[in-house]
Amino acid sequence: MDIKYYKIIVNGYDEEGGIIYAPSDWPYPIAQDGEDVKNWQALVLELKDGVYRHFNRCVGGANVISSEFKEVLTPFISDYSAIEFLPVIVKSKEYGDKEYYIMHFKKIYDVIDRKNTIYVEGTDSIIKVRLDYNKVKDLHIFNTQPAVNDVIVSAKLKNCIKRAKLGAGVIFHPIYCLNV
């Protein structure tokens, strides 16, 4: 039986959602999974071209979430040493300033089913990831690789996000694992 998890992807076709920008002179990426985030306390972001969303990918390299989104995630976190939420101010001339959080994984989870994942032939570049059920069965939020925008949630957490009406502007792309 296939078990579903979902990668959270910002919907680039959402016409209402704005884009959050880091200052043009800020080092890229702001937050790389598995590495310490440098100088985040001094970071001030800016929302442009639309309204605030609850889950944003920041031009500058970070996942930026609202306090409401963070509150839905928190009960599902099984390892607080693996994920952190760094408070930052997001400024907007049209919609006012708000406190948001950089959602940052401090580690890379070893959850890929290497036998069933599809790779570019002769490389370790992933075309289609498959998850190892025994490694993800107790996880509700995690990543798979050191990419800025790699956020995967369980079906249960996805449903909570949707019930709380926090999924606007995102796509939940299914990722499967085989329950063996």
Q: Supply the pLDDT for residue 180.
A: 56
First to last CA, the chain: 8
Q: Is the CB of residue 33 less than 8 Å from the CB of residue 104?
A: yes
| Per-residue model confidence as pLDDT tens digits over 98-137 | 999 999 999 999 999 988 888 888 888 888 888 999 999 9
Q: Supply the pLDDT for residue 105.
A: 95
Q: Supply the pLDDT for residue 179.
A: 65
For the chain, counts of helices (H) and of strands (E): 3, 13
**Domain count of the fold of the chain:** 1
Q: Supply the pLDDT for residue 84.
A: 96
Q: Supply the pLDDT for residue 2.
A: 56
- With a cut of 50, which residues of the chain have pLDDT below it? 1
pTM summary value: 0.91
Q: Is the CB of residue 174 less than 8 Å from the CB of residue 59?
A: no
Domain region containing 128: 2-178
DSSP H stretches of helix in the chain: 67-73, 133-136, 155-163
